[in-house]
Amino acid sequence: MTIPKYIHYLLGVIYLLFAIWVIYGFFQPNFLFLNEEIHSSYFIKFIIVLIYLVSALLLFAIPFTYYKLIFKSTPVKNIFYIFIIILFFSLVFYVPVSYFYERTLMPNEKFHPYLQLNPPEIPQGIPNNDEFLIVCLGGSTTAWADEKNQKWPKQAEINLNKAIPGHNFRVLNQGKEWYTSQHSLINYEINIRFLKPDLVIIMHSINDFMQNADHSYYSNGEFRRDYGHAMGPFTRLFRIRPLFVQIKHVFNSIWYAKTQEEITTDTFPGLVSMEENLNRLIQLISLDGSSTILQTQPYLYKENMNKAEISSIWMHRANGVGKDKKWSIETARKGMIQYNNCIRRIAEEKNIPLIDLEAKVPKTLEYFTDDCHYKSPAIQIISREVSQTIVDLIKEKELSVSN
């Protein structure tokens, strides 16, 4: 029986519409996934390219095979043999790729499962009784450098040694990306107490605040007071997917990706947790005979942000986005207001010096690279405020002793 030509034409039109639908789907990706994941993994890039190539080959192979079979220029058994050969070599190729893929997810030998990442290193030669030792605790906003490779703890050390030459100040940067107040509490107990620092400076807000996003990709369930739901950088290890499952995950992220519901809220149960962690940390520091300074955390979130500012921020998207939900910028702004107010309240209740950096650093791209990380002008402000506060405290103490 000969199939009428119009049937072939009809099937061709249907297939063309199907191909357009498939191709259009790749123009509807999860942009968060593309912006964040693709920059951090060569295997993710490889999988994306593989998906594109396979999709293109299938779209071409379907009409080609149909044409060959209809006009009987290629026997059916030959098509079957070709399919078996392709499947065989795909499986052979899959084994080594899967092995190397899983190797990239494993931590290096220094990875600390409780402190996460590689813990900050303690320099040799400490303690030194001739030094006025200052330890700075915090997250990446303490640990990271600006575009000129300047870090505010080091700049504060330079300023202090210029201002009071005889005191021989040493400022130890113990900030680490991802660190919350709980990480700093553990870090102080394990790595810092034996140093007996003269002063501990603490800056925490944004990483603790992000723990409230229990709907995010970095969360393993509903919010827990002990932050046990928040996987942080440990997420990649906790969720090691077999390569085939990872391919499926990537495909779901780049082809007709689902749009998350945007959440605006001003309720953050994690405020209690941060306050408890900081109170414990302050108590330990006091028991060790050391002094404490608290700092509020500067950030870029504000009302009526312009396009350049909105395009520069990413933490509320990366940390506050999950499969079905995502935080709004307004949520990030409200959260940081409440968390910094918590810092202010603790300082007042404990009668601890406070450096209100959030009020000192203007919320513009002249001072910020993104949500909360600093450019050189901000680093200069922070280091100046820190060093001046310490100088004033020392002079006040010396004056009280002399009287």
* Per-residue pLDDT tens digits for 305-339: 999 999 899 887 778 888 888 899 999 999 999 99
pLDDT, position 35: 64
pLDDT, position 74: 63
For strands 291-295 and 199-203, give the pairing: parallel
Query: In the chain, which residues fall in CATH 3.40.50.1110?
Result: 132-397
pLDDT, position 39: 53
CATH architecture of 132-397: 3-Layer(aba) Sandwich (3.40)
User: What single string gives the DSSP state of each residue in 60-106?
Assistant: HHHHHHHHHHHTTSS-HHHHHHHHHHHHHHHHHHHHHHHHHHHHHHS
Instruction: Identify which of 185, 358, 373 has the alpha carbon closest to the alpha carbon of residue 273.
Output: 185
Q: Find the Cα–Cα–Cα–Cα dihedral 344, 348, 353, 356, rounded to 10°.
A: 20
pLDDT, position 234: 73
Write down the pTM of the prediction: 0.82
pLDDT, position 36: 61
Q: How far apart are CA 360 and CA 380, in angstroms?
A: 11
pLDDT < 50: residue spans in the chain: none
pLDDT, position 71: 67
